Amino acid sequence: MDVLTLSRLQFAFTIGFHYIFPVLSVGLGLLLVVMEALYLKTRLPLYHAMTRFWVKVFGLVFALGVATGIVMEFQFGTNWSAYSRYVGDVFGSALAAEGIFAFFLESGFLAILLFGWNKVGPKLHFFSTVMVALGAHFSAIWIVVANSWQQTPAGHHIVGTGTAMRAEIVDFWEMVLNPSSLDRVWHVFMGCWQAGAFFVISVSAWYLLRKRHHEFARVSMKIALVVAVIASMLQLVSGHSSAQNVAEFQPAKLAAFEGHYATDAPADMYLFGWVDESSGVVHGLKLPGMLSFLVHGDAGAPVTGLQSFPPELRPPVNIVFQAYHLMVAIGLLLIAISCLGLLFWWRKTLFDRRRFLWLLVASVLLPQVANQVGWITAEVGRQPYTVYGLLKTSESLSQVVTRGQVMISIIAFGLIYVMLFVLFIYLLNEKIQAGPDEQVEPERHRA
Amino acid sequence: MNLDLNTIWFIVIGALFAGYAILDGFDLGVGALHLFARTDVERRLMLNSIGPVWDGNEVWLVTGGGALFAAFPEVYATVFSGFYMAFMLLLFALIFRAVAIEFRSKRPGTKWRAAWDISFSVASIVSTLLIGIALGNIVYGIPLDTGHEFAGSFLSLLNPYALLMGVTTLGLFVMHGAIYIVIKTEGELNVKARLWARNGIIFFVLMYTVTTMVTLLYVPHMTEYIRVHPVLFAVPVLNVLAIANIPRQLHHGREFRAFLSSCAAVFALLALFGIGMYPDMVYSSPSAENSLTIYNAASSVQTLRIMLIIAAMGMPLVLAYTISVYWIFRGKVKVEPHSY
């Protein structure tokens, strides 16, 4: 493998692994705000125990997010220095804004969230929880804005020539509010809320099946189920809106979603399939004209196909096709599961349906997988570019970094991350097995 | 010096890295000393003294890196790709450090705890050395080609001057961390920490003297700016006074003032570094004409202006949270159920 492939693999692996954790911080952050708000309103010890339990889990998740996140901040420079020179003026600003507005907020108030139970009053503690959740959301906004600029660049101009060529900001707000920012921030938020909600649902279902912490599990489950239903429904809306945005601004990516080759012909939508990239044929089960209908509201309207692009400017079609279809399938499944949960809750049978509860235990993996394949769809679909239409991935690489160096670092990342993952699951399992501390009365807060 | 946007950003980035050195400096120092605490309770006290703040301290590095990327992308690109293996090692050390703090006290086993104690301490020492080595190379100069790409090798980064700077930085952070432990602890650990602080000061002062002499003899470009602007000689003088004030305050039992002096010493050292470099950001040696300066490495004026607005809005908030958190967690540290 050459240094380009290795660097791409390293980036994909390190960002994919990192992305397990921030989705949970954002999603759990929201749930913590709800739980602690309920405690402040009712002063029931149950809500206090609930908040404390999930704060402990949050602390573990956050630590892994920090440890793996710092890698991302440095990796643009270490492996992609040509890219860094090209985008620094634009992308760097968003990244620096993330540091100043989000990371400091999160890390500062996290200290109070984790260790401040006896140091501050309940209201200030709740305020800290809100600030940590807000910080996690701000962080998502800035990094998704930066990534969206790479998908649909706007508000910049290109100066210089050759290796000195680079993008410079002309209009900051046009860059921040580039055509895909809002859709994508919303899409990522919902993905995170789903991840957080199904995480809480899964652990609660486990307690119910094991007949432990009954009251705690029932109430946690209900809170998370409400969030899950809302997020899953809104995700359908944001997904549709994102796809329409891709159709308008990144037609090659949209065509790859459905393996649509014929140019200016109506496009079908596949329920599942396999793309033969050499012949441009998709084998699978399709809904004729459905993609045209979703994009243009007319099943007979033409959609730009991959044949409009020279082969070297097309993304790898089958990977994008599969990732996209898996994401959509999971999205629909999550709507079905959460609505079914709501129905059983309304019929008062939710907590007795053992098979459904087992399904809920497993459901924690679904949003995680959907978040991963969603990003694969977005990033592989943008190829061969790092900045769509402007800078190719092959032109983004560091000039001075050798194949041997990246080989060493990728192996080291592989070993370290496997170890971290095993330890994370082990410690998470210990926390879950230990369960919430329901006996502890809310401690006397210092006035 | 004219106070244009490029110079302002040179100062802002310097301030972010100085903030990092002052804050993460003491928790790296606590990490370096961690294995000198012998019992489990003492080690937990050490960890929890930095427990609520170490993560926020590290954000200064992350934000400094982000600001460097935004304001001086050429520097970010050249240094991070050129120092590839060194930065990878630093990343691995920072990962181990973060998870060691989080994982160590989650299980009661002595082997589990000993393993994470070693990870935490070794990772703290390695991080500190690497930061010092990186700084040493920037001061001494690294070979850059006409395209501003690094033209040396990983081994060439481990030159004697850089290693000297690495050890000096370790001395500085150990001294700084030891004084912090003195403030945060009581009883036996406090007595030990006073001894560490005393030895740390002696070690740092020796290293500082040697580094200063070597710099004066072999790195003349670092003193150029002060020679031309003699008024700036006040900075090294203040630096020496701040260092001298540390043992004096400790002797009088005023630990907090000793710590402030230590912060001032760290700040003054960074200021000296900045003054020596200005207006270069990465000094090229040989071929000084290939150096990256605050002008040829900078982003556009428009970006520097927007970023300054962002920094002006954000930094007061950052200082407010930082001060509040330190205030809330003031006083002697105790081990509690939700502690590390």
What confidence tens digit (pLDDT) does each residue in B302-332 have? 899 999 999 999 899 989 988 988 998 888 8
N residues, chain A = 447
Q: What is the share, in percent, of chain A residues with pLDDT greater than 70? A: 98
pLDDT above 90: residue A441 = no
Residues whose CB is less than 8 angstroms from the CB of residue A232 and which lie 6 or more positions away in sequence, other chains included: A190, A194, A331, A334, A335, A338, A339
Query: How many residue contacts between A and B have a Cβ separation below 8 Å?
Result: 227
Judge: B62–A120 Cβ closer than 8 Å, yes or no: no
Distance CA B94, CA B223 (A): 33
Write the pLDDT tens digit of every residue in A388-410. 999 999 999 998 999 999 999 99
Q: Are A167 and A161 in contact (CB under 8 A)?
A: no
The tokens describing A237, both together, are: 């809306």
pLDDT above 90: residue A344 = yes
Q: Is B169 helix (H, G, I), strand (E, B) or coil?
A: helix
Rounded to 5 degrees, what are φ and ψ at A318? -65, -40
The burial class, CB within 10 Å (0-12 / 13-18 / 19+), for B74 is buried
Q: Give the pLDDT of residue A446.
A: 41
Q: What is the share, in percent, of chain A residues with pLDDT greater than 90? A: 70
Residue B335 lies in a domain: no
Among the partner-chain residues B73, B98, B318, the one whose CB lies closest to the CB of A104 is B318
Out of A135-139, B77-81, B151-155, least confident range = B151-155
pLDDT above 80: residue B339 = no
Kindly state whether B233 is in contact with chain A, defined as any CB-CB distance less than 8 angstroms.
Answer: no
pLDDT above 80: residue B336 = no
Q: Which helix (H) or strand (E) covers residue A164, if one does? A: none
Helices vs strands, H then E, count in chain B: 13, 2
Judge: A85–B106 Cβ closer than 8 Å, yes or no: no
Nearest CA in chain B to A415: B92
Gyration radius of chain A over CA positions: 23
Kindly state whether B312 is in contact with chain A, defined as any CB-CB distance less than 8 angstroms.
Answer: no
pLDDT above 60: residue A442 = no
CA distance A271 to chain B (A): 42
Q: Give the pLDDT of residue A116.
A: 87
Distance CA A79, CA A421 (A): 24
Residue B338 lies in a domain: no
Q: Are A233 and A342 in contact (CB under 8 A)?
A: no
Kindly state whether A147 is in contact with chain B, defined as any CB-CB distance less than 8 angstroms.
Answer: no
Write down the mean pLDDT value for chain B: 91
Judge: B302–A116 Cβ closer than 8 Å, yes or no: no
CA distance B4 to chain A (A): 18
CA distance B143 to chain A (A): 12
Q: Give the pLDDT of residue B287.
A: 85
CB < 8 Å to A110, chain B: 55-56
pLDDT above 50: residue A228 = yes
Q: Are B303 and A170 in contact (CB under 8 A)?
A: no
Among the partner-chain residues A97, A111, A405, the one whose CB lies closest to the CB of B52 is A111
> For the residues A310-326, what does the mean pLDDT come to?
93
Residue B339 lies in a domain: no
pLDDT above 90: residue B122 = yes
Q: Is B272 helix (H, G, I), strand (E, B) or coil?
A: helix
C-beta atoms surrounding A319 within 10 Å:
18
Judge: B81–A78 Cβ closer than 8 Å, yes or no: yes
Q: Give the pLDDT of residue A52.
A: 92
Distance CA A304, CA B66 (A): 38
pLDDT classification of A199: cutoffs 50, 70, 90:
very high
> For the residues B235-248, what does the mean pLDDT come to?
92
Q: How many domains does chain B have?
A: 1
User: Which residue, among B5, B27, B81, would best test binding to A if mutated, counting the most A CBs under 10 Å from its CB?
Assistant: B81
Residue B154 lies in a domain: yes
Give chain B's end-to-end CA distance (angstroms, integer).
48
pLDDT above 60: residue B199 = yes
Q: What is the share, in percent, of chain B residues with pLDDT greater than 90? A: 62
> For the residues B228-243, what does the mean pLDDT come to?
91
> For the residues A332-347, what does the mean pLDDT come to?
94
Q: Give the pLDDT of residue A373.
A: 96
Nearest CA in chain A to B81: A78
Judge: B299–A105 Cβ closer than 8 Å, yes or no: no
pLDDT above 50: residue A355 = yes
The burial class, CB within 10 Å (0-12 / 13-18 / 19+), for B36 is middle
Among the partner-chain residues A110, A405, A427, the one whose CB lies closest to the CB of B103 is A427
Kindly state whether A101 is in contact with chain B, defined as any CB-CB distance less than 8 angstroms.
Answer: yes
pLDDT above 90: residue B215 = yes
> For the residues A178-202, what does the mean pLDDT come to?
95
pLDDT above 80: residue A447 = no
CA distance A405 to chain B (A): 7
Kindly state whether A176 is in contact with chain B, defined as any CB-CB distance less than 8 angstroms.
Answer: no
Distance CA A112, CA A183 (A): 33
pLDDT above 50: residue B297 = yes
Tokens 């359908």 locate to A236
Report the alpha-carbon angle A4-A10-A11, nearest 5. Answer: 90
Q: Give the pLDDT of residue A35.
A: 94
Q: Give the pLDDT of residue A378.
A: 94
User: Which residue, among A400, A413, A417, would best test binding to B if mutated, counting the most B CBs under 10 Å from its CB?
Assistant: A400
> For the residues A383-389, what does the mean pLDDT come to?
92
Distance CA A399, CA B171 (A): 35
pLDDT classification of A445: cutoffs 50, 70, 90:
very low
CA atoms within 13 A on the CB side of A340: 13
CA distance B150 to chain A (A): 7
Write the pLDDT tens digit of every residue in B33-82. 999 998 988 999 999 999 889 888 988 998 899 899 999 999 999 999 99
> For the residues A259-276, what does the mean pLDDT come to?
86
Q: Are B193 and B200 in contact (CB under 8 A)?
A: no
Distance CA A195, CA A170 (A): 37
Q: Are A406 and A79 in contact (CB under 8 A)?
A: yes
B43-to-B36, B110, B121 alpha-carbon distances in Å: 9, 12, 11
Q: Are B272 and B219 in contact (CB under 8 A)?
A: no
Write the pLDDT tens digit of every residue in A33-82. 999 999 999 989 899 999 999 999 999 999 899 889 999 989 999 999 99
pLDDT above 90: residue A203 = yes
Domain that holds residue B25: 5-328
Judge: B63–A104 Cβ closer than 8 Å, yes or no: yes
pLDDT classification of A440: cutoffs 50, 70, 90:
low
Out of A30-39, A109-118, B18-27, B123-132, least confident range = A109-118
Out of A34-48, A186-200, A258-272, least confident range = A258-272
Do β-strands B292-293 and B280-282 pair in parallel, antiparallel, or remain unpaired? antiparallel
Among the partner-chain residues A70, A88, A104, the one whose CB lies closest to the CB of B299 is A88
pTM comes to 0.91
pLDDT classification of A439: cutoffs 50, 70, 90:
low
CA distance A167 to chain B (A): 10
Helical ranges in A159-268 per DSSP H = 172-176, 181-209, 214-249, 251-258
Q: Give the pLDDT of residue A281.
A: 85
Q: Give the pLDDT of residue A223.
A: 95
Kindly state whether B232 is in contact with chain A, defined as any CB-CB distance less than 8 angstroms.
Answer: no
Judge: A104–B310 Cβ closer than 8 Å, yes or no: no
Judge: B300–A169 Cβ closer than 8 Å, yes or no: yes
The burial class, CB within 10 Å (0-12 / 13-18 / 19+), for B289 is exposed
Nearest CA in chain A to B316: A100
- Choose among A282, A290, A288: nearest CA to A259: A282
Kindly state whether B31 is in contact with chain A, defined as any CB-CB distance less than 8 angstroms.
Answer: no
CB < 8 Å to A81, chain B: 76-78, 80-81
Distance CA B254, CA B195 (A): 15
H, E, C per residue of B257-270: HHHHHHHHHHHHHH
